Copies of this chain bind each other. A is one copy, B any other.
Amino acid sequence: MADTPTLFRKVLIANRGEIAVRIIRACRELGLETVAVYSDVDRNAMHVRYSSEAFYIGPPPARDSYLSIEKILEVAKHTGADAIHPGYGFLAERPDFAAACEDEGIAFIGPAPTAIGAMGDKVTARKTVEAAGVPIVPGTELDLRDEELSVAAGFVGYPLLIKATAGGGGKGMRRVDDPDEFENALHSARREAEAAFGDGAVYLEKLIDGGRHIEIQVLADCYGSVIHLGERECSIQRRHQKLLEEAPSPFVDEAMREEMGAVAIRAAQSVNYCNAGTVEFLVDRDRNYYFLEMNTRLQVEHPVTEFVTNMDIVKEQIRIARGRKLSRTQDEIEITGAAIECRINAEDPYNNFLPSTGTITAMTVPTGPGVRVDSGVTTGDPITPYYDPMISKLICWGDTRGAALLRMRRALAEYKIMGLKTNIPFHQNLLDSTRFIAGQYDTTFIEESFFLDEDPNLRPEIAAIIATLAAHDQRRKAAQIVRRNGHDGQSNWKLAGRWQRMRG
């Protein structure tokens, strides 16, 4: 990241799928050349087809290709790329990668390695932002004795969590709702931690019940200007995987937006942040918000913010990396209407969201007013087990949340994908649920209170008629072709005809 204007002409995208395509599009619209990289299974991928250049970097497992810093830098040097965009995931939050780019004199389109590092270590991050006056989930420092802890518990307040210092995977973690339970819980937690990590040290943290996941998008240039683009509501999750996001949050009002925005800006400033980033908060029922972490990269759900602010976050990232000032000031940011994003995944919502791999044999994407599709695949592309099962992101804008919601229903009904199962029925169900429509949901909603029931609009008898007519039709045709092949000469003209259609 330069602090004097850097003019670059060619950008290597160290990623794949929809986000690689998204970045390639931004580059094309800025007149920049692009270099795509691909693994064996991605040879035909959309990001390869849409890029001006494409280079093979190894076998499907990410560690051998998309996570290989050496290979990617080698391609960058070979092609004379003067910048690298990491997208999200893979190498996006690896300080060593950002540093390696700098060493090679290649602009890294993202924050400085130091900022990535500081926010990457959760304990450091917690300390740093707290020092900057950013509220964090209340709790104790580490390593207190039992007596101290039982006292501290009173201050932290119930319900609370006892967490193992060396913790992870819930081991040595206990939820305590009642002071009377505290002592037993503490001992069993220590025992479990001792057994699991050989270290019985624990600390206390307030338990945020029915919390919402709300995040603030920030933009910072290299001249100290930091602005926020409002919040995104990301509480629709399953196993910590976001499934649907919206902006603005139905839970956040203007005052709260301003306040959280200001806090997020402080968090970014605390690590001298420069580029686009997202500050995630946990928000409780009483609208208290607590810093969770800062993602030092582009988010999957950035389009909902782009829709309501009319800003292009990826172009802004490139602009910042070029050492230019932000294109807008905070006063020039206005939230217009509402946007919703549905992540369209190759998984079976009726079968415990089991991933569904295969080739997309046919696809019709929704179009028309207020609809945006960010896709990494087209008809003929495979969804492999090697990478995440996201097919695309469907984003809809409306002048009100209700309008965006109705438009999303329309778009989901238009979206046709064959060859594998998708979670579209889940989204259709969700958009029909009264609690979602009312905006009354938290991070536990999908797993605890939402049940995917039969789509009320199911028309099995219609499906039965259609399948029967198609079968009737096809068998007759098949029979004809075979008879022709066997008996008369015109047959293969049909064959040729079919070939053409296959190609078409």
Contacts and interface: CB of A to CB of B under 8 A. Distances in A.
Contacts of A25: 368-369, 410
A428 to B, nearest CB: 13
Nearest to A362: B504
Interface in A381-434: 398-399, 403, 406-407, 409-410, 413-414, 418-419
A312 interface: yes
A374 interface: yes
Given A311-B399, A362-B504, 4 more contacts: A21-B368, A28-B413, A303-B369, A368-B372
Q: Which of A28, A374, A398, A500 has the most CB of B within 10 A?
A: A28
A373 B368 contact: yes
A410 B361 contact: no
Contacts of A399: 310-312, 327
A482 interface: yes
> What copy number does this chain have within its complex?
2
A378 interface: yes
Contacts of A28: 406, 409-410, 413
Interface stretch (A129-137, A147-155, A344-352, A490-498): A490-498
Interface size class of A (residues with CB under 8 A): 35 or more
Contacts of A409: 28
B492 A474 contact: no
Contact of A478 (B414, B474, B499): B499
Contacts of A252: none
B485 A22 contact: no
A29 B501 CA distance: 35
A26 to B, nearest CB: 8
Contacts of A365: 365, 367
A265 to B, nearest CB: 23
A502 interface: yes
Q: Which of A21, A31, A410 has the most CB of B within 10 A?
A: A410
Given A367-B373, A504-B361, A498 B498 contact: yes
A336 interface: yes
A300 interface: no
Contacts of A481: 495
Contacts of A501: 361, 502
A310 B367 CA distance: 17
Contacts of A398: 29
A414 B496 contact: no
Contact of A372 (B303, B367, B379, B413): B367
